[in-house]
Amino acid sequence: MDLFNDNTNTTTYTKTEQFTQKLETLQSQLPSILEDFKKYYVFYNKNPEYPEYQQLFQNIKSNLNSVNAELFTLSNDVQSNIDKLNGDFSKIDTLIKNAKEKNVQLKKSLGIVEHKNNAASEMITDYKKIYENGYLRNWALFLSILVVGVGISKIYKKPTTNPITVVK
């Protein structure tokens, strides 16, 4: 239950607005960089002997690489936040399941069924357990039938013999 009372979990995540702002900045920079890259790529390949074109092409190429690197780090940051959120949600889910199980046990031990709706929800959880047990039993029965069937077929399979030919 400490996870619910702890307010530090919300501060460890980067706000979506920051990710959106970085992405919009990169999107606004990219068209002009690509346009310049196309232009200087053509100039550089047509006249590779001019050092000015070579320098401009290298500069725009480094700008493009830096945008690519920033986009990669942004993607990694988003993925790490998603992983943190998934971990926290799985912890919360486990806590909720444990609390529900404890609630069911406490209600059973006290014999508390206040309303018809509560009785129905208790029956639903009981039927879910019955269904899960039956489901596992059916799969076990199916697999055992397969194993026994393969075993019987191996035992009673006719041995293949080669006919003996008599040479005169």
Domain locations in the chain as residue ranges: 14-112, 114-168
Give yes or no for residue 159 having a pLDDT over 90.
no
Question: Among residues of the chain, what percentage have pLDDT more than 70?
Answer: 81
pLDDT digits (tens, 9 = 90+) for 84-141: 999 999 999 999 999 988 987 887 777 765 555 566 666 777 788 888 899 999 999 9
Q: Per residue, what are the HEC states of 37-65? A: HHHHHHHHHHCCCCHHHHHHHHHHHHHHH
d(CA 39, CA 19): 31
d(CA 140, CA 145): 9
pTM over the 0.85 mark: no
- What SS3 state is found at 111? coil
Q: What tokens were used for 106?
A: 């406490």
Q: How confident is the model at residue 161 (pLDDT cuts 50, 70, 90)?
A: low
Q: What is the dihedral of CA 77, 81, 86, 91, to 10 degrees?
A: 140
Q: What tokens were used for 42?
A: 């053509």
